[in-house]
Structure formats: structure tokens, C-alpha cells
Amino acid sequence: MLVLVAPGQGAQTPGFLTPWLDLPGVEDRLRALSAAADLDLVHYGTAADADEIRDTAVAQPLLVAAGLVSAAALGDVTPGAVAGHSVGEITAAVLAGVLDDTAALTLVRKRGLAMAEAAAITATGMSALLGGDPDTTVAHLEKLGLTPANVNGAGQIVAAGTLEQLAALEADKPEGVRRVVALKVAGAFHTLHMAPAVDTLAKAAQELTPGDPTITYVSNKDGKAVATGAEVLERLVGQIANPVRWDLCMETFKELGVTALLELSPGGTLTGLAKRALPGVKTLALKTPDDLDAARELIAEHANA
């Protein structure tokens, strides 16, 4: 059983879409996605520097577009389940038939703008903690006033809060944590700092007419499969101010009997987690079109007929 996953913010790097434009039809599709997002995704995916694509309002549409383009390059594929990490959930919603391209890019652009505006209210950020006991780490973060914004499993928790709180964390790591790594994001996502963006996204979601998932859609909220498009949208809205439980998503993949995990462009982060948390599951990250042949072999071996 194959699960197809889409990465979240921080996975982008300068020029990462450049090799994808060599594939037939990709530039045309990116131009169409750009029109829906009112943003030049070709420029940001090929010529923009790290600071430009770190901007939340740019990064989020760029990542969704990259996921959709790389998924299309795979050809006809029927995974057993789909999921996305944070903004990658919008990519997954398209793959599951809940949203079309235009709705997804319109929604993600509004999401990015609203979250960027919320992030500008207070200087905040996120840091990944590697190693340690999860319960001990979470208790320590709460003592410092930080939120465990991403509980990623495989020994990784991402803390989010003010820059002062994150500096205190650097100076006072939880017992057993080997490293604290600042992430390339512009705010404390999936915390109460994002609450001002929730109403904006809720209004945007009300303008959409979602379909029900045609493929098992696994939600970041609690790792549960979601049966209706209306609930997918409701969870997408609420998730921006609540922690991502990728650990629970991976537990669900286990329960579903996953045998392979394929991560869409710009892949790497989620396959890294899966290698540690899902032993025996084959993994592959789509980084460039050079990975497509291996991805198709994986699909042929593990995807549902």
C-alpha cells in the first residue's frame, strides 16, 4: 500500500523548481497556478533567493504548486492514502479530489497572507528539537511558554513561540535533546499566535464547494481519516492555530498497512521521518525529475490497482 505525502513550509530552497520546467507542460501549469494565486510562481521557484521564498505568503503557494506539478509528472497513480504536513494538507486535498487546482491556490494564497499578517504582530519563530523523551520535552516547552507546534514522531518535536522564548530554549534544552535547530519560517505557526488568521481562512473556505475525498485523506489534527470534504476544509482552517500531529499520521499509515511512502517535491523531510518511524516501509523523495523513474517503479510495486 502506497501513501503519497506532501511536505510543509521550510522544505523550499532557491531554484528548486528549475529542473521541473524542462518537463513538457510544467511551465504552462505553473502559469495557470500562478494566475489562481496571483503570484509569479515560476519566478519564485526558479530565480528568487532564500529570503524571498521564506516569506510565508510566497512559500505556501509555492509548495502547493510544486507538489501538484510533481504529482502530475508521476502520471496515473492511485495511492492508498494521501496526507500533507501543514500547508501540504492543501496539496493532499487536491490529490484526494476535495479541491481543484484553482480553489487550492486561491485558498493557500489567502492562508499565506493571513498567517504572514498574524506573524507580523509579534516576533516569533520555530525550532526543531532532536532526541529526548516526548513527554519530558513537551513539559519543558510548556514551562518556557512554548508550544509543541509539530509533534513529528521519530524523535522530533518543533517548538514555536516568541524569539525570546526560543532563545531561552537554546540556553536551557530539555533533558535528552541533542540539538535545537532554528527553522527557516517566519512565525510561530500552529500556535495561538496564528489565531488572527483563523477567521480570514474560515471566510475563504466558505466560498468553496469541496468534494468528498476519493482517496483516504489523513488529517494532521489527530491522524484520523476524514470522510467528507466539508470536514477536510473545517480541519484545514482550525489547523493553522493548532499543533500538527504528524506522529499520529504515521501511526495511521501503519494501521492502514503502508508498504511504501512517496514524498512529493520538494521531498526529503517526511521521508527522513518515515525512515526512522516506519521501519520496513520503502521511502522515496521526489527532489528533481531525475527521481521520477524510481518513483514510478515504487508506484508499480506498491500502489493500489
Query: What are the catalytic residues?
Result: 86, 190
Q: Are 286 and 262 in contact (CB under 8 A)?
A: yes
At position 166, the amino acid (one-letter code) is: L
Helix ranges restricted to H, the chain = 26-37, 41-46, 50-54, 56-73, 88-95, 101-119, 134-143, 163-171, 195-206, 229-239, 246-256, 269-277, 292-302
* Burial of 23 per CB tally in 10 Å (0-12, 13-18, 19+): middle
The grid cell for 73 is 509528472
3-state secondary structure at position 118 = helix
Q: What is the Cα–Cα distance from 141 to 135, expressed in whole angstroms?
A: 10
3-state secondary structure at position 264 = coil
In sequence order, which residues have a C-beta less than 8 Å from that of residue 213 and are 6 or more positions away? Answer: 96, 97, 98, 226, 227, 228, 229, 232
Nearest to 273 by CA among 299, 303, 247: 247
Q: What is the Cα–Cα distance from 228 to 210, expressed in whole angstroms?
A: 9
- 223: left (phi > 0), else alpha (psi -120 to 50), else beta? left
Query: Angle, nearest 10°, between helix axes 269-277 and 246-256?
Result: 60
